[in-house]
């Protein structure tokens, strides 16, 4: 798309980066079929593009073994209609998505994951990629759209991604990029709740998945500037409690190791993560093998 | 590291070498191969000493059939110790690499005061009394008498040493003065005599200039040094002055009175001997008849008086008849002293050449030239005969005999100048008769003639072509090197005017100008507020310094300066100055900041380093010309003009700028150091003055830093300090490499030589 | 360099100074010629045309050197960083701080950057505490006590900005030493001195004070504004801090922000301890309670201390009633990236780029920016040593400075090393 003239870059131009969860383990057990889901999402994306001539959309797929860019609206050449078929937006996107899912599944076979485990999707990966893309947009100069991220996620949280996701959240907070979350799984996702709370985005768990498009277009379609005029769903009950490293139960009072900040529920003599002995000055640093990064589950 | 320079394998004890060190070594080797003399100028802080030592020892190692001895001359004892310490390092490195073949014997030699371990002797205050106390215990007749009478004190160390005989040797190794003392104490031998003896066999000898240049001393220390030696004069920028002073004598009223006293004493002694042991005097007489008054068959402990004239100029004849008998000799001396007293009574300044003076002595005192020439030898012999050991008491008569011998020996290159009072203080009569040598080449000529290669090296030898003329020799290599720097750690500036744009100078007619004084004061004040830690200021003379500090005090500028930093000042008293220096360093260390006022030709400028934070800025107030109305200086200038065709102005400028360069060179001692230099006088901007600064200063003196005023200098100073405070990459990551490793050196060819020369 | 007086720079043969005197700031249009000197940012390229200096590669090269030096300090054995820091900032308000070489005055610039530093500090070290000390007329005053709320510090700093008198380093060190001796043993004691003066007027022996600080394991760093002073260097060397001198305003800002991330802790210094902390729940939006910090009724949006059930408005804080440190798990998580830093990326060498056998990705993995064709220019792409993905230089900087995640490693579940022990 050629760059638009200056006067069109008003406050309400947005760049929306959508992180689509394509984790087959989730979709195989979901009540909403994937194809229906896609139609909701595609209509939503189209409506975004209609809201403003220079809105931009980037779609990143979050698989269970990999993540990749699927679609970038600023790159497509001709959004016109071809022979009465679906507009190019959809066909491109769908094709790429299909390719991605196939590749992702192949990686599954390669690493022979037992089919019974519900693995999580690589949310940290797609978040990181989204943030890198957004940084690039920031660098392009003062005339640019206002970026935000929308996570459409169904898989449950992977506790091993805790630190990476928190890093991404803090980085987004520093760059003032809100992360909206539309969670279509069964229980609430604590990671996404925290993400939206910290970055100032909106977290929504739609009650009825049949009307997903309605939820998307009413809650998540507005640009950042106009959100000030709307009553969006407030965050209710974000659970900031930590869970201890030793039992993984949620605690509201605990003990922190001053060296590595691991959380324990009772007093220990020695920290299991970094090996420091409490009450004594350290004389050597922990070796890498000792250090295990256990992440609390929240 | 180890590398080749043509056919010599050089062992260098560090892993990295500066390019200029390498170039220096190449040039040095060239001179050694050519068996000629050389002049090398290399800036301070670039490792000149270790380069010299490393190359020469490696040269010796590579030519085992023609071993070359190294005689290294330094100016001060401190430098001697430093050199020996470096040599130790080098020696350790070489023995690791090539084992026993690298073993050498290196000794330092100094006066008895620095080497004696006998506590009774050491208790004497100054050098001469230490000498005298030593002789009292070790003179040959004393020892003979002590052998008969055990109650007489002798020096136990010396006795042990004598007993050990030919076993008294130093095992191979490097011995600093401290090491010698320790060794002496351990073995019970006298370190001084041991060292003096070992000097002949050592591969490397380190001692002071006097031991080679001053005929009085060189005569018995260095007479047996081999011809195949390399002599190195380090920090030799003032070598012409050292040569001149070695052959100059000055006689005052006190000297003559003292001489009279000495003569009386000697007469008494003679009377005593005549009564008790007349045979001795007769034996002496006979000896003199046979012409054996010269040294050679005297026990070496009795060799303390040596002829002040150069070895080639001493007549090898029998002593003239009129002074063979002791009483006659004393008469002659008395007549001479009387004559000199008469000459000192004059009211005018008189100047004469030696020939005229000798003629006049002949006319008035009846002493002919040949007699005068033998005065010294005769005195020596007489004192031995009379068994006089308190040589410190007889210094005056020695001075007179020095004078006489010199005046009798030389016909050219000397002047006798008699001044009734000091020009600057006309009402105080202080007559002085000076025999001043004008020709620096006289004292150093035997060194050039005798030894195979003489290396004269220093950080400030500019302009380098003047030295061969002054010292009358022909160097085969004469080069000037610059420092290779990763960053410009020197910032020289020439400041010619104050903030009010009035020119500043210490030219005589401008000195008392209030504007100049104020501008200088403001310069110092502004700099004190911008430069951290220590600042050193050099003034042209004590009187000028006093005057200007007084004026600053009256103006209140001094008080303002003291608010920023504490002020310390050098005086003519050594103890006070040492105390001031100590406190100055303390002030710099604790962050209070200090300024040190010093004089360009003083002790501080010659010897004290102000490196690192002790000297971040040095200001040279004015151009340090010598006192141009001094008669001696005028006589010397005239001589130089007549003999060497060196113009007076040129020589004076050369001397002044060499002094200035020496002063400002105090602030940089290594490449990681940094400092600024301000030459505060409008005369520095003139090309004839500026071009006489050494290359390594000139290469940093940018055109933008010439002709500055105070505020401009301030701005440059601020920027420079900030830039230098940034972290420093020693090896020079970007751009040209300034620290070469072994491979770099191997890859290098001759290209580097051309780069390094200025 | 940005002095109103300064026109003599870099040895350029400018016309001999017009004596405009030493007073008067330049007008803005003049400043573009005198100070900003836009013509200097032009360079000739190979064909002799003028181009603006390519700053980005220079900037990137500098950045990479810095990262490399930092990571080489961290080495394979992880050096524990001081995560619970008690830092005192000592601001020199002596006579020298009124100088105008920074606009409008050194003091104002320092205050501005200290404010930015305070916010950054609390951002990166949520569990740490900060205090402010000023030196004026040779006496050191404690401006604010150690505390965890940035606003109070900033307000106190902006309130009192006058300078006069001498500066005394020893008095400041003594004061700070007294305060820092009282903190718990697991905290890291640090002092950051912003020194504008060129000397210090001390009542006693400052070298003794330095030894005292060294014994108490206080890490003192100094940022000099005028020039390098020996005593400051000595102080920093003895106590293990860092000494730097700022060349101009922007450099000063860089230097001061370098102190915001935790320094490598000298391991013997801090005694490991278990600190009791609470993780309060966020109250529901409609609840009403009296908050203990403002002593007034507030609706919704607060936190309840788990021990004494008092309400506090923001985290992290210490409960005023029972003294329990209250934090939320994101606060702890904010510091985890210090413990698990990512490896620096390697430059892709031009030989690899030019090798026709290699199939190179054509765009940056993170931002999808396409790479220019490899030519003889220095490489413009870097690769993660673990997942081997290629990134552009800007992503490299962003990833290492802000994001602390490698997108490539995060995007592949079964990359070379398992994710669990990655980073």
Q: What is the pLDDT of residues B328-346, one digit of tens each?
A: 888 888 898 998 888 888 8
Quick one: pLDDT at residue B678? 94
A97 with A213, same domain: the answer is yes
Q: Give per-residue pLDDT as tens, B629-674.
A: 788 888 888 888 888 888 888 889 988 998 999 888 888 888 788 9
Please, is B703 exposed, middle or buried when counting C-beta atoms within 10 Å of its C-beta (0-12, 13-18, 19+)? exposed
With cut-offs at 50, 70 and 90, classify the pLDDT of residue B266. confident
Quick one: pLDDT at residue C15? 36
Q: Contacts of residue C8 in chain B, CB cutoff 8 Å?
A: 704, 712, 715-716
Separation CA C142–CA C138 (nearest Å): 13
Q: Which two tokens stand for residue B731?
A: 């090896």
Q: Which two tokens stand for residue B17?
A: 């070498």
Separation CA B90–CA B96 (nearest Å): 10
Q: Last residue of some domain: A180, A196, A228?
A: A228
A222 with A255, same domain: the answer is no
Quick one: angle between helices C106-124 and C150-159, nearest 10?
Answer: 170
Separation CA B248–CA B244 (nearest Å): 6
- Please list the residues that pair with C81 across neighbouring strands: C264
- Count of beta carbons in the 10 Å neighbourhood of residue C71: 14
Quick one: pLDDT at residue A296? 38
3-state secondary structure B588-652: HHCCCCEEEEEECCCHHHHHCCCCHHHCCEEEEECCCCCCCCCHHHHHHHHHHHHHHCCCHHHHH
Task: Decide: helix, strand or coil at residue B206.
Answer: strand
Whether residue A259 lies inside any domain: the answer is yes
The structure's pTM equals: 0.79
Chains A and C share 3 or more Cβ pairs within 8 Å: yes
A184 with A210, same domain: the answer is yes
Question: A275-289, B475-489, C263-277: which has the minimum mean pLDDT?
Answer: A275-289
Quick one: pLDDT at residue B290? 66
Whether residue A3 lies inside any domain: the answer is no
Whole-number average pLDDT of chain A: 80
What ranges in C146-189 are assigned the alpha helix state H? 150-159, 169-180
Separation CA C99–CA C198 (nearest Å): 12
Quick one: pLDDT at residue C423? 32
- Count of beta carbons in the 10 Å neighbourhood of residue A228: 8
Q: Determine, for residues C227 and B721 on separate chains, whether the beta-carbon distance falls below 8 Å.
A: yes
A71 with A105, same domain: the answer is yes
Task: Decide: helix, strand or coil at residue B152.
Answer: coil
The set of residues, in sequence order, having a beta carbon less than 8 Å from that of C96 and lying 6+ positions away, is C106, C163, C167, C196, C197, C198, C226
Separation CA B17–CA B11 (nearest Å): 11
Domain count across chain A? 2
Separation CA B137–CA B573 (nearest Å): 33
Q: What is the CA radius of gyration of chain C?
A: 25
Rounded to an integer, the average pLDDT of C177-193 is 88
For residue C84, what is the nearest residue in chain A, using CA coordinates?
A258
Whether residue A233 lies inside any domain: the answer is no
With cut-offs at 50, 70 and 90, classify the pLDDT of residue C24. very low
Q: Determine, for residues C272 and A259 on separate chains, whether the beta-carbon distance falls below 8 Å.
A: yes
Residues B199-222 as b or e (16 or more Cβ within 10 Å = b): beebbbbbbbbbbbbbbbbbbbbb
C405 CB within 8 Å of a chain A CB:
yes
Whether residue A235 lies inside any domain: the answer is no
A215 with A286, same domain: the answer is no
Quick one: pLDDT at residue B547? 92
Extract the runs of DSSP E, i.e. beta strands, from B197-280: 204-208, 229-234, 249-252
With cut-offs at 50, 70 and 90, classify the pLDDT of residue C21. very low
A22 with A125, same domain: the answer is yes
For residue A284, what is the nearest residue in chain C, using CA coordinates?
C267
| Strand-by-strand arrangement of the B37-41 sheet | B173-175, B105-108, B204-208, B69-74, B229-234, B453-458, B37-41, B475-480
DSSP string covering A2-57: PPPPGGG--TT-EEEEEEEE--HHHHTT-SS-HHHHHHHHHHHHHHHHHH-TT-EE
Separation CA B43–CA B74 (nearest Å): 17
Rounded to an integer, the average pLDDT of A192-207 is 90
Quick one: pLDDT at residue A37? 92
pLDDT at C196 over 70: yes
Q: Determine, for residues B703 and C3 on separate chains, whether the beta-carbon distance falls below 8 Å.
A: no
* pLDDT: which is higher, B12 or C191: C191
pLDDT at B747 over 80: no
Between strands A253-257 and C274-278, the pairing is antiparallel
Quick one: pLDDT at residue C418? 37
Percentage of residues of chain C with pLDDT beyond 90: 21
**What is the number of alpha carbons within 13 Å of residue C186 lying toward its C-beta?**
19
Most confident range (mean pLDDT) of A196-210, B360-374, C256-270 is A196-210
Q: Which of B6, B188, B180 is nearest to B105 (CA)?
A: B180
With cut-offs at 50, 70 and 90, classify the pLDDT of residue C20. very low
Rounded to an integer, the average pLDDT of C335-357 is 77
Residues A187-210 as b or e (16 or more Cβ within 10 Å = b): ebbbbbbbbbbbbbbbbbbbeeee
A173 with A221, same domain: the answer is yes
Quick one: pLDDT at residue B623? 92
Percentage of residues of chain B with pLDDT beyond 70: 92
State the nearest Cα–Cα gap between B602 and chain C, in angstroms: 27
Q: Contacts of residue C86 in chain A, CB cutoff 8 Å?
A: none
Whether residue A176 lies inside any domain: the answer is yes
A278 with A215, same domain: the answer is no
- Under 8 Å between Cβ of A172 and A179: yes
Q: Last residue of some domain: A187, A204, A228?
A: A228
Q: Determine, for residues C200 and B715 on separate chains, whether the beta-carbon distance falls below 8 Å.
A: no
The ipTM value here is: 0.83
Rounded to an integer, the average pLDDT of B234-257 is 88
Q: Give per-residue pLDDT as tens, B367-397.
A: 888 888 888 888 888 888 787 777 778 888 8
Whether residue A234 lies inside any domain: the answer is no
Separation CA B188–CA B168 (nearest Å): 11
pLDDT at A297 over 50: no
The residue range of the domain holding A279 is 242-293
Separation CA B135–CA B132 (nearest Å): 5
Q: Give per-residue pLDDT as tens, C286-331.
A: 778 888 777 778 777 788 888 888 888 877 777 888 888 888 888 7
Nearest to C407 among A125, A169, A264 (CB): A125
Rounded to an integer, the average pLDDT of C130-159 is 87
Separation CA C399–CA C382 (nearest Å): 12
Q: Contacts of residue A236 in chain C, CB cutoff 8 Å?
A: 284-285
Q: Which of A133, A132, A130, A145 is nearest to A181 (CA)?
A: A130
Q: Give per-residue pLDDT as tens, B413-437.
A: 888 888 887 766 777 778 888 888 8
The set of residues, in sequence order, having a beta carbon less than 8 Å from that of B243 and lying 6+ positions away, is B213, B437, B440, B441, B442, B443, B444, B471
Q: Give per-residue pLDDT as tens, A107-127.
A: 877 766 555 455 788 999 999
A208 with A265, same domain: the answer is no
Please, is A133 exposed, middle or buried when counting C-beta atoms within 10 Å of its C-beta (0-12, 13-18, 19+)? buried
What is the length of chain A? Answer: 298
- Count of beta carbons in the 10 Å neighbourhood of residue A9: 16
Whether residue A1 lies inside any domain: the answer is no
C249 CB within 8 Å of a chain B CB:
no
Whole-number average pLDDT of chain C: 78
With cut-offs at 50, 70 and 90, classify the pLDDT of residue A4. low
pLDDT at A281 over 60: no
- Under 8 Å between Cβ of C214 and C191: no
- Count of beta carbons in the 10 Å neighbourhood of residue C289: 15
State the nearest Cα–Cα gap between B699 and chain C, in angstroms: 13
Q: Contacts of residue B705 in chain C, CB cutoff 8 Å?
A: 11
Quick one: pLDDT at residue A201? 92
Quick one: pLDDT at residue C37? 57
Q: Which two tokens stand for residue B269?
A: 């002694």
Q: Determine, for residues A241 and C398 on separate chains, whether the beta-carbon distance falls below 8 Å.
A: no
State the nearest Cα–Cα gap between C35 and chain A, in angstroms: 25
Q: Give per-residue pLDDT as tens, C205-231.
A: 999 999 999 999 899 999 999 899 999
State the nearest Cα–Cα gap between C106 and chain B, in angstroms: 15
Q: Determine, for residues A124 and C278 on separate chains, whether the beta-carbon distance falls below 8 Å.
A: no
Question: A32-41, B394-403, B546-555, C52-61: which has the minimum mean pLDDT?
Answer: C52-61
Task: Decide: helix, strand or coil at residue C141.
Answer: strand
Residues 306-325 of C with CB under 8 A from B: none
A272 with A215, same domain: the answer is no
C416 CB within 8 Å of a chain A CB:
no
pLDDT at C128 over 80: yes
Task: Decide: helix, strand or coil at residue A256.
Answer: strand
Separation CA C196–CA B66 (nearest Å): 63
Separation CA B89–CA B84 (nearest Å): 9
Quick one: pLDDT at residue C171? 93
Quick one: pLDDT at residue C11? 36
3-state secondary structure C82-128: CCCEEEEEEEECCHHHHCCCCCCCHHHHHHHHHHHHHHHHHHHCCCC
Question: A33-37, B558-562, B737-741, C405-409: which has the minimum mean pLDDT?
Answer: B737-741
Q: Mutate which of C164, C199, C225 to disrupt the B interface (most B C-beta within 10 Å)?
A: C199
Q: Last residue of some domain: A175, A202, A228?
A: A228
**What is the number of alpha carbons within 13 Å of residue C139 lying toward its C-beta?**
4
Quick one: pLDDT at residue C320? 80
Q: Determine, for residues C232 and B591 on separate chains, whether the beta-carbon distance falls below 8 Å.
A: yes
Quick one: pLDDT at residue B131? 81
Residue B343 zone, left/alpha/beta (φ > 0; ψ -120 to 50; rest): alpha
Quick one: pLDDT at residue A293? 41
Q: Which of B412, B389, B393, B401 is nearest to B323 (CA)?
A: B401
Domain harbouring A151, CATH code: 3.40.50.410
Whole-number average pLDDT of chain B: 84
- Under 8 Å between Cβ of B719 and C3: no
C201 CB within 8 Å of a chain B CB:
yes
A63 with A14, same domain: the answer is yes
Task: Decide: helix, strand or coil at residue C264.
Answer: strand
* pLDDT: which is higher, B277 or B245: B245
A110 with A204, same domain: the answer is yes
Separation CA B31–CA B44 (nearest Å): 21
Q: What are the Cα distances from residue C102, in Å, to B568, C105, C251? A: 33, 5, 12
Chains A and B share 3 or more Cβ pairs within 8 Å: no
Rounded to an integer, the average pLDDT of B727-749 is 63
Quick one: pLDDT at residue C4? 38
Q: Contacts of residue C227 in chain B, CB cutoff 8 Å?
A: 530-532, 718, 721-722, 725
Whether residue A16 lies inside any domain: the answer is yes
DSSP assignment, residue C291? B
């Amino acid at each position: 798309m050629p760059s638009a003239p200056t006067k069109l870059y008003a406050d309400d131009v947005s760049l929306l980066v959508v992180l689509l969860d394509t984790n087959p383990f989730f979709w195989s057990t979901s009540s909403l079929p994937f194809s229906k889901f896609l139609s909701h999402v595609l209509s939503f994306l189209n409506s975004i593009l209609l809201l403003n001539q220079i809105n931009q959309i980037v779609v990143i797929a979050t698989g269970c073994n990999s993540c990749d860019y699927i679609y970038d609206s600023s790159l497509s050449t001709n959004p016109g209609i071809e022979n009465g078929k679906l507009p190019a937006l959809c066909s491109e996107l769908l094709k790429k998505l299909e390719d991605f899912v196939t590749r992702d599944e192949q990686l599954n076979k390669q690493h022979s994951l037992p089919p019974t485990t519900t693995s999580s999707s690589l949310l940290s990966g797609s978040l990181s990629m989204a943030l890198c893309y957004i940084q690039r947009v920031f660098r392009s100069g003062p005339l640019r759209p206002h970026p935000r991220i929308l996570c459409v996620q169904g898989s449950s949280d992977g506790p091993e991604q805790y630190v990476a996701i928190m890093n991404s959240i803090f980085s987004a907070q520093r760059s003032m990029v809100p992360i909206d979350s539309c969670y279509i799984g069964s229980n609430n996702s604590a990671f996404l709740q925290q993400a939206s709370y910290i970055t100032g985005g909106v977290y929504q768990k739609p009650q009825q998945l049949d009307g997903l498009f309605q939820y998307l277009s009413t809650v998540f379609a507005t640009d950042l500037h106009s959100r000030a005029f709307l009553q969006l769903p407030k965050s209710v009950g974000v659970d900031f409690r930590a869970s201890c490293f030793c039992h993984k139960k949620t605690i509201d009072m605990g003990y922190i190791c001053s060296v590595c900040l691991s959380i324990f529920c009772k007093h220990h003599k020695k920290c299991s993560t970094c090996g420091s002995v409490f009450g004594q000055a350290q004389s050597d640093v922990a070796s890498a093998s000792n250090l295990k990064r256990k992440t609390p589950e929240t | 590291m180890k590398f080749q320079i043509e056919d010599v394998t050089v062992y260098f004890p560090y892993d990295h070498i500066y390019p200029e060190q390498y170039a220096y070594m190449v040039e040095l080797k060239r001179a050694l191969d050519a068996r000629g003399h050389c002049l090398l100028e290399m800036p301070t802080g670039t490792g000149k000493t270790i380069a010299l030592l490393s190359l020469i020892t490696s040269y010796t190692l590579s030519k085992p059939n023609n071993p070359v001895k190294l005689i290294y001359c330094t100016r001060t004892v401190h430098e001697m110790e430093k050199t020996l310490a470096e040599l130790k390092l080098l020696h350790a490195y070489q023995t690791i690499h090539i084992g026993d073949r690298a073993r050498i014997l290196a000794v330092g030699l100094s006066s008895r005061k620095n080497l004696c371990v006998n506590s009774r002797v050491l208790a004497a205050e100054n050098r001469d009394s230490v000498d005298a106390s030593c002789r009292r215990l070790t003179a040959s007749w004393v020892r003979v008498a002590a052998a008969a009478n055990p109650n007489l004190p002798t020096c136990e160390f010396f006795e042990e040493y004598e007993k050990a005989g030919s076993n008294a040797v130093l095992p191979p190794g490097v011995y600093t003065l401290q090491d010698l003392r320790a060794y002496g104490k351990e073995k019970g031998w006298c370190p001084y005599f041991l060292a003096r003896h070992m000097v002949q066999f050592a591969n490397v000898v380190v001692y002071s200039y006097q031991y080679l240049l001053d005929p009085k001393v060189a005569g018995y220390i260095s007479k047996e040094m081999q011809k195949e030696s390399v002599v190195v004069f380090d920090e030799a920028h003032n070598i012409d002055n050292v040569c001149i002073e070695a052959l100059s004598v000055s006689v005052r009223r006190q000297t003559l009175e003292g001489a009279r006293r000495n003569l009386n004493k000697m007469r008494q002694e003679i009377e005593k001997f005549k009564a008790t042991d007349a045979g001795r005097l007769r034996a002496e007489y006979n000896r003199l008849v046979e012409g054996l008054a010269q040294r050679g068959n005297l026990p070496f402990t009795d060799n303390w008086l040596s002829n002040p004239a150069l070895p080639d100029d001493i007549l090898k004849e029998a002593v003239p008849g009129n002074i063979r008998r002791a009483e006659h000799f004393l008469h002659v001396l008395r007549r001479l002293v009387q004559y000199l007293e008469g000459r000192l009574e004059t009211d005018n300044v008189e100047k004469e050449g030696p020939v005229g003076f000798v003629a006049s002595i002949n006319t008035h005192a009846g002493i002919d030239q040949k007699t005068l020439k033998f005065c010294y030898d005769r005195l020596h012999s007489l004192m031995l005969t009379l068994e006089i050991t308190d040589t410190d008491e007889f210094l005056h008569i020695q001075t007179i005999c020095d004078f006489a011998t010199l005046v009798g020996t030389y016909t050219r290159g000397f002047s006798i100048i008699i001044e009734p009072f000091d020009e600057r203080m006309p009402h105080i009569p202080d007559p002085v008769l000076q025999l001043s040598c004008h020709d620096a080449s006289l004292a150093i000529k035997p060194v050039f003639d005798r030894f195979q290669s003489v290396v004269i090296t220093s950080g400030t030898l500019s302009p380098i072509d003047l030295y061969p003329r002054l010292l009358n020799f022909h160097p085969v290599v004469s080069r000037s090197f610059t420092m290779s720097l990763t960053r410009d750690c020197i910032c020289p500036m020439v400041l010619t005017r104050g903030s009010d744009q009035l020119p500043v100078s210490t030219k005589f007619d401008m000195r008392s100008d209030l504007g100049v004084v104020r501008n200088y004061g403001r310069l110092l004040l502004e700099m004190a507020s911008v430069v951290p830690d220590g600042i050193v200021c050099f003034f042209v003379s004590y009187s000028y310094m006093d005057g200007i500090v007084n004026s600053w005090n009256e103006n209140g500028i001094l008080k303002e300066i003291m608010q920023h930093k504490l002020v310390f000042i050098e005086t003519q008293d050594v103890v006070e100055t040492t105390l001031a220096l100590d406190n100055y360093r303390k002030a710099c260390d604790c962050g209070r900041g200090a300024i040190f006022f010093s004089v360009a030709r003083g002790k501080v400028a010659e010897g004290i380093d102000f490196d690192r934070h002790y000297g971040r800025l040095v200001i040279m107030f004015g151009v340090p010309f010598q006192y141009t109305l001094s008669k001696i200086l005028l006589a010397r200038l005239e001589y130089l003009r007549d003999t060497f065709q060196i113009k007076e102005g040129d020589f004076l400028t050369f001397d002044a700028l060499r002094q200035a360069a020496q002063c400002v060179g105090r602030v940089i001692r290594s490449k990681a150091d940094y400092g600024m230099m301000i030459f505060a006088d409008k005369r520095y901007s003139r090309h004839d003055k500026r071009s006489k600064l050494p290359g390594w200063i000139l290469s940093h003196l940018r055109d933008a830093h010439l002709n500055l005023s105070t505020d401009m200098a301030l701005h440059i100073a601020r920027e420079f300090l900030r830039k230098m405070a940034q972290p420093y990459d020693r090896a020079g990551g970007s751009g040209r490499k300034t620290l070469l490793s072994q491979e770099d050196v191997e890859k290098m060819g001759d290209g580097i030589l051309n780069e390094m020369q200025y | 360099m940005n002095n109103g007086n300064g026109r003599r720079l870099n040895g350029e043969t400018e016309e001999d100074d017009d004596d405009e005197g030493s007073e008067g700031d330049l007008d803005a249009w003049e400043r573009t010629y005198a100070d900003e000197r836009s013509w200097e940012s032009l360079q000739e390229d190979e064909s002799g045309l003028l181009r603006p200096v390519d700053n980005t590669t220079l900037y990137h090269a500098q950045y990479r050197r810095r990262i490399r030096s930092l990571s080489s300090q961290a080495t394979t054995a992880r050096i524990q960083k001081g995560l619970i820091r008690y830092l005192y900032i000592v601001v020199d308000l002596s006579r020298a701080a009124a100088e105008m070489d920074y606009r409008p005055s050194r003091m104002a610039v320092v205050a501005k950057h200290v404010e930015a530093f305070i916010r950054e500090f609390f951002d990166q070290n949520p569990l740490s505490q900060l205090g402010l000390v000023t030196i004026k007329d040779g006496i050191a005053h404690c401006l604010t006590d150690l505390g965890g709320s940035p606003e109070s510090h900033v307000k106190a700093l902006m309130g009192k900005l006058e300078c006069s008198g001498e500066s005394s380093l020893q008095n400041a060190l003594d004061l700070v030493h007294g305060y820092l001796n009282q903190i718990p043993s697991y905290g890291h004691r640090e002092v950051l001195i912003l020194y504008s003066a060129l000397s210090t007027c001390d009542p006693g022996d400052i070298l003794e004070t330095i030894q005292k600080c060294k014994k108490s394991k206080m890490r003192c760093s100094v940022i000099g504004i005028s020039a390098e002073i020996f005593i400051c260097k000595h102080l920093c060397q003895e106590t293990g801090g860092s000494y730097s001198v700022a060349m101009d305003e922007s450099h000063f800002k860089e230097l001061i922000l370098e102190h915001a991330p935790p320094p490598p802790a000298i391991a013997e210094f801090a005694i490991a301890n278990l600190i009791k902390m609470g993780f309060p729940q966020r109250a529901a939006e409609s609840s009403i309670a009296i908050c203990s910090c403002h002593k007034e009724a507030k609706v919704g949006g607060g936190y309840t201390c788990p021990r004494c059930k008092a309400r506090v408005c923001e985290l992290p804080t210490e409960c005023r009633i029972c003294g329990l440190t209250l934090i939320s798990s994101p606060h702890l998580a904010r510091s985890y990236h210090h413990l698990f830093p990512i490896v620096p990326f390697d430059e892709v060498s031009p030989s690899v780029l030019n090798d026709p056998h290699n199939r190179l990705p054509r765009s940056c993995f993170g931002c999808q920016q396409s790479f220019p064709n490899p030519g003889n220019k220095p490489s413009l792409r870097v690769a993660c040593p673990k997942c081997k993905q290629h990134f552009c230089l800007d992503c490299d900087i962003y990833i290492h400075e802000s994001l602390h995640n490698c997108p490539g490693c995060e995007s592949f579940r079964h990359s070379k090393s398992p994710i669990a022990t990655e980073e």
